[in-house]
Amino acid sequence: MSWAPRLVIMAREPRAGAVKTRLARAIGAAPAAFVYRHLLARTVRVLARDRRWRAVIAFTPSGAFARRTGTAAVAQGGGDLGARMDRLMRTLPPGPVVIVGTDIPRISATDVARAFKSLGSADAVFGPAADGGYWLVGLRRRPRVRAIFARVRWSSDHTLADTVANCTGLDVAMLDERADIDTGDDYRAFLAAGGLRL
């Protein structure tokens, strides 16, 4: 039985109108999809081929684009974000699991390595986002998988606090805070900081 650490990259098929909908309200659906495609490509390139963990793309709704990356792929399944992440935490093979999205343009393999190192002693790890959410979540998953994603107000400034509140009795580690790209203001700040670096 494999106890290898696993990194999950949550991804959507990069179609205009189906991704970055809040950003699309500010810059248009096609430009938002373009930004998403580049963020997804960079995230996979930087994180998926690192030999310190096994990477998998958790896709929705179609797996065709995920297979083109050469990375193992699984379906996210139905439900809200919490239900989908909980399903992944419960169904992946044994070992620590770290989940990231594609909204953090400067995410690095060092960030993921720090998360897995934290899970050597902590039960859960979070990468806080500047907007009150989080850009990374991980669970040691021993001796059992805790349900930490229920009753979370997703896409709000309460998301991290709600999830941490579900971690009662767990040792929780925090990584550095990062800014993600969800809105027009986020995107303008991102461009001011140098934009896409693939």
**What are the residue ranges in the chain where pLDDT is below 50?**
1, 198
- A 10 A CB-CB count for 192 gives 8
pLDDT reported for residue 194? 78
Q: What share of the chain is helix, strand, coil (3-state, %, to 5)?
A: 35, 20, 45
User: Within 10 Å of residue 12's Cβ, how many Cβ atoms?
Assistant: 19
pLDDT digits (tens, 9 = 90+) for 173-198: 999 999 889 899 999 988 888 776 54
Q: List the chain domain ranges.
A: 6-192
- Identify the pLDDT of residue 64: 58
Give the CATH H-level superfamily of domain 6-192. Answer: Spore Coat Polysaccharide Biosynthesis Protein SpsA; Chain A (3.90.550.10)
Q: Are 138 and 116 in contact (CB under 8 A)?
A: yes
**Token pair recorded at residue 173:** 């580690």
